[in-house]
A and B are shown apart, each in its own frame.
Chain A
Amino acid sequence: MNGGTVTDVVSAVFLLLGALSCLLGALGLVRLPDLPARLQAATKPQTLGLLLILVGTAVRLDFENAATLVLVILFQAVTAPVISQIVARSAYRTGTLDRRALVVDELAERMEHEAREGGPAGRK
């Protein structure tokens, strides 16, 4: 009985923190100015939120079922960076990035330098 209450509280804390993280991600998605900045808010707090929610769920489940959740978070952690990287790169190249919001841009300096030298912009 007492053990059940502890589990409930732990689970609730994790679930609420996870939900909060997802909410903050959603707010960032609405409020931030350009694509790469929104990308940060859209992908990362979501990953953390999912992680927390899965932990909160796992403490309430049997061990067998909880093991499957490990796979969910693992695949999320492996696939999310790939996608965000491709999107960010395309955003920079197609100019959906708001350059006025950049404090420093050392990549632009390098690309300009290369354009002057006549060399190809470094791929990959």
Chain B
Amino acid sequence: MTVLRRWPQVLWLTVVWVLLWGTISVKIVLGGILVAAAVTALFPLPLLPRLPFRPWALLQLGGYLLVDLVVSGVQVAWEALRHGPRAQAGIVAVPLLTDSERITTFVAAATALTPGTVVLQIDRAGGRLYVYTLGLRRPDDAARVRRQMERLQERMVRTVGEGR
């Protein structure tokens, strides 16, 4: 039974179902499990090795992203107000620390979530991310972006990296 092996997806969909109902009752939970199992069986996603679950690292990553969201939010706002139409930016090549596709995807998503940066291109063969960054003033600022991205990648690997 492939649905049974996908139990995390069924569990997650059931949680979403219950949250959408807004109340919890036996009928709703059972209905949710039924719908989730049906969706999982009808639209199967590829089975990937399960992500490690490290609650503490996950919490730290969440906190880090939240702080980043606020800090860079202020920076983007400042850039828009202070420089406006003369705002400057740069595209920086950042070395990838991992060859895991999944972690690369997470890193790219986290980069896009923080204001001021977005991944333009992923060069997996060359092991590089090309990151657009708003608010660069001088070419030396590229080093700062590389350091930031390195820290983000380290955190990501610590949270969802495979193996120990």
Contacts and interface: CB of A to CB of B under 8 A. Distances in A.
Interface string A15-29: 000000100110110
Contacts of A67: 19, 22
A104 B90 contact: yes
Nearest to B119: A85
A80 B134 contact: no
Given A77-B113, A106-B93, A32 B87 contact: yes
Contacts of A37: 87, 89, 134
Interface residues of B, number: 54
Interface residues of A, number: 46
A117 interface: no
Contacts of B138: 103
A47 B141 CA distance: 26
Which 6 pairs show the lowest CB-CB distances between chains A and B? Answer: A81-B112, A28-B80, A44-B115, A31-B84, A24-B77, A106-B93
Interface of B: 16, 19-20, 22-24, 69-70, 72-73, 76-77, 79-81, 84-93, 108-126, 128, 130, 132, 134, 136-139, 141-142
Interface of A: 21, 24-25, 27-28, 31-33, 36-37, 39-41, 43-45, 47-48, 51, 64-65, 67-68, 70-71, 77-78, 80-82, 84-85, 88-89, 92, 101-108, 110, 122, 124
